Chains A and B, each alone.
Chain A
Amino acid sequence: MSVTDTKRSVALAASVLGATMLGLAGVASAADGPTLTSVKAAGELKCGVSTGLGGFSIPDSAGAWTGLDVDVCRAVAAAVLGDGNKVKFISLSAQQRFTALQNGEVDMLSRNSTWTLQRDTKLGLNFTNVTFYDGQGFMVPKKLNLKSAKELNGATVCVQTGTTTELNLANYFRANGMEFKPVVIESTQEVLAAYISGRCDVYTTDASGLASQLKNDIPNGAADHVILPEIISKEPLGPVVRQGDEQWTDIVKYSVFALLQAEESGLTQANVEEMASSSKDPDVQSLLGAKNAEGKTSGNGEALGLDEQWAVRAIKAVGNYGEIFDRNIKPLGLERGINALWSKGGLMYAPPMR
């Protein structure tokens, strides 16, 4: 009857509570041995992704997952298991994601999650890299004739629950001595519907999300709505793993760095195999585990607990970071900006792969 209409997320949280209490499921594998062992034994990587965010993780018309976050999962799977398709994508809501990782339901999260101090410490989790530098922005109807977020005093703001956006929003208005009324709704579709209906003056989420929704979800989007120039927060998004398994942390971390280094060294999905045998550049040889003039390899793979071809497979599976960006993020209308390589004025920087 009516009591059974309990909220899905609470149900999941409760089931997680139950699992924690009974000590079930993946708990044992997390405590007993490294994640690598269980991933190899299962023959697939369980990767936590979003419930659908264009450009980051969303199923295409054929049902295959696509996006930047998805490609990170595929790169890790290719490095570890030798096949970028050996990934089981598990859709997680904002509230579910960390508990799912903590309980071993997934081996890693690649789910547009913001790296913060408290998440990195108190949750028993580690953020490995930044795969996308995002920031929270505002969208308003054009007819309000606003030029800046500083003019938003007294506005009603639609915001989705379960993310850092509520906190950033409150901080920004407090810092600028302004007031606002939040309308906090659980699902993306409903919160967007409330904004489109005119219930709120402003809609706020990460700038990448705004761009994606302006293009895909809002009727007459670009003609009637505008994204304000202010970016009010730092949202470094990246993969997350459990604390206490340093080897697995390193594997995820360097799989992502390999994609960055590949772009810097000019390695692409198309040429990486050929470069592995032909390149004379010591950095490239070291990254790709190629034998140098004296028949020696760099030993990177061994150091990670993988074989020497790990990076070749990762790059072959999804391409370098630039290719991933162009394939997934560019169609949203977003430029590289601070997500460009350090050598091109951005923040993307991989440590030496040796």
Chain B
Amino acid sequence: MSTVSLSERRSLSSFLHDRGVRGILYQIIALACVLGLGAYLVHNTLVNLESRKIATGYGFLNQEARFEIGESLIDYSAASSYGQALLVGFLNTLKVSIVGIVLATLLGVSVGILGLSRNWMVARLAGAYVNFLRNIPILLHMFLWYVSITYMLPGLREAISPVAGVYLSQRGLQFPVPVAAAGWSAAVWALPLGIALAYGVKRWASDRQDRTGQAFPGFWVGLALVIGLPFLAWLLFGAPAELSVPELKGFNFVGGENISPEFMAVLGGLSIYTSAYIAEITRSGILAVSHGQTEAGRSLGLSEGVILSRVILPQALRVIIPPTTSQFLNLTKNSSLSVAVGYPDLVSVSNTTLNQTGQAIEVIVIIMAVYLTTSLVTSAIMNWYNSRVQLVER
């Protein structure tokens, strides 16, 4: 009997000394501590709020917001709910972030490539661009843009009109847009169809090239599909040509669309500031590709443009993408400074909501959750892209 208990004890102690088991055990303990601390904090918060008679909960999201928002991608008025208002703010954040990411990437990659130019002047200018812009805090970038736009552009009545119907003034850029009609919505629906077809053509073309070695002008056919299909759809549905042209009436332009000075200031600040970082990342990524690759390309008789686009950049992308991802995340998060120049982003709308409802904790939790989700989704997309451009080892 005693032997049995001894061997049992021995097996238990050897079980506990097993490295794998220990590892799991420590992880369980660590997780329990984190969850316990979290539960304690939440409980403590609720008790404190209760004892101070502060109302809690998310019921306010359905109440009437009773404030206006300067620009919105969806229908919104003061009669809409707080939930709707926060959604408007979130979409505005997305709008400025997505356009900002595209602009920052285009600018940054161009400047990064220029920085490697053999032309002394061009390379120095690119270097100056990077060092000057990334050493100014982003808030100052925004203020600078905002002040430039509001103080240097002419007033509403003296608006600059470079092309008939387009006006640039302190109130932003006002430009004509087509009046909604069946032809335009058909064109909008035809666009993704064209893109899908172009993608199919490209797949087929590269497949054929692999098999037969014959090149096919896939790019031009694809471009024709992307542009041509919407155009055809527009023609088929009656080719509507009526425009909503801005007209100065009373205090403001009526008709057309407007890009506000606030949006321009935030966009300018975010994209230019971030482009300086992306330029450096691009430059280092290209430098990371051994010079032998360029020389090999030249000895094969490839043109400099083809070497850059087909030999260097595909390899450089592996180095470029991970740090660029974090720049995209930074840009999105930096858009929360918008309220300083009056762009109604998520934080700006949340501020007003917080102040009117007094639900500080709930609103901050919403802000945190939204930024966290946005960042995680961005990372997921970029990680997926990153895994696609990694070297496929054969």
Contact present for B348 and A161 (CB under 8 Å): yes
0/1 string, B349-383, CB within 8 A of A gives 1: 00110111110110010010000000000000000
Contact present for B361 and A17 (CB under 8 Å): yes
CB proximity of B309 to chain A, nearest CB, Å: 30
CB proximity of A191 to chain B, nearest CB, Å: 8
Give CA–CA (A119, B340) in the complex, Å. 26
- Residues facing A in B121-174 (CB within 8 A) are 137-139, 143, 146-147, 150-151, 155-156, 170-171
Task: State whether the Cβ of A98 lies closer than 8 Å to any Cβ in chain B.
Answer: yes
Contact present for B53 and A244 (CB under 8 Å): yes
- Residues facing A in B329-351 (CB within 8 A) are 330, 333-334, 336-337, 339-342, 344, 347-348, 351
B55 cross-chain contacts in A, Cβ below 8 A: 121-122
B143 cross-chain contacts in A, Cβ below 8 A: 190
Known: A118-B358, A183-B342. A154 touches B251 (CB 8 A): yes
Task: State whether the Cβ of A111 lies closer than 8 Å to any Cβ in chain B.
Answer: no
Task: State whether the Cβ of A338 lies closer than 8 Å to any Cβ in chain B.
Answer: no
Contact present for A7 and B347 (CB under 8 Å): yes
Known: A22-B41, A162-B355, A184-B344. A30 touches B52 (CB 8 A): yes
Contact present for B150 and A185 (CB under 8 Å): no
Task: State whether the Cβ of B184 lies closer than 8 Å to any Cβ in chain A.
Answer: no
Task: State whether the Cβ of A2 lies closer than 8 Å to any Cβ in chain B.
Answer: yes
Contact present for B250 and A153 (CB under 8 Å): yes
Contact present for A162 and B352 (CB under 8 Å): yes
CB proximity of A100 to chain B, nearest CB, Å: 11
- Residues facing A in B50-96 (CB within 8 A) are 51-55, 66-70, 78-79
Contact present for A23 and B44 (CB under 8 Å): yes
Contact present for A161 and B339 (CB under 8 Å): yes
Interface residues on B, range: 35 or more
A154 cross-chain contacts in B, Cβ below 8 A: 249-252, 254
Contact present for A186 and B339 (CB under 8 Å): yes
Can you name the residue of chain A whose Cβ is closest to the Cβ of B342? Answer: A185
Task: State whether the Cβ of B14 lies closer than 8 Å to any Cβ in chain A.
Answer: no
Known: A156-B251, A161-B351. A171 touches B70 (CB 8 A): no
Residue picked from B55, B68, B139, B147, most chain A C-beta under 10 Å: B68
Task: State whether the Cβ of B273 lies closer than 8 Å to any Cβ in chain A.
Answer: yes
Task: State whether the Cβ of B262 lies closer than 8 Å to any Cβ in chain A.
Answer: yes
A153 cross-chain contacts in B, Cβ below 8 A: 250-251
Task: State whether the Cβ of B48 lies closer than 8 Å to any Cβ in chain A.
Answer: yes
Give CA–CA (A155, B249) in the complex, Å. 11
Contact present for A124 and B364 (CB under 8 Å): no
Which of A13, A30, A187, A201 is close to B340, meaning CB atoms less than 8 Å apart? A187
Give CA–CA (A244, B54) in the complex, Å. 12
Contact present for A156 and B171 (CB under 8 Å): yes
Contact present for A161 and B352 (CB under 8 Å): yes
Contact present for A155 and B252 (CB under 8 Å): yes
CB proximity of A178 to chain B, nearest CB, Å: 11
Contact present for B138 and A5 (CB under 8 Å): yes
Can you name the residue of chain B whose Cβ is closest to the Cβ of A165? Answer: B67
Give CA–CA (A30, B51) in the complex, Å. 10
Give CA–CA (A291, B337) in the complex, Å. 61
> Mind listing 29 A-B residue pairs with CB under 8 Å?
A2-B330, A5-B337, A6-B336, A7-B337, A10-B364, A20-B45, A23-B47, A94-B355, A95-B354, A102-B52, A118-B358, A122-B358, A154-B250, A154-B251, A156-B171, A164-B356, A166-B68, A166-B356, A167-B356, A170-B68, A173-B68, A174-B79, A182-B67, A182-B69, A183-B70, A184-B339, A190-B143, A193-B147, A244-B53
Closest 9 pairs (CB-CB, A-B) = A170-B78, A197-B150, A124-B53, A185-B342, A124-B54, A122-B55, A166-B67, A155-B251, A21-B41
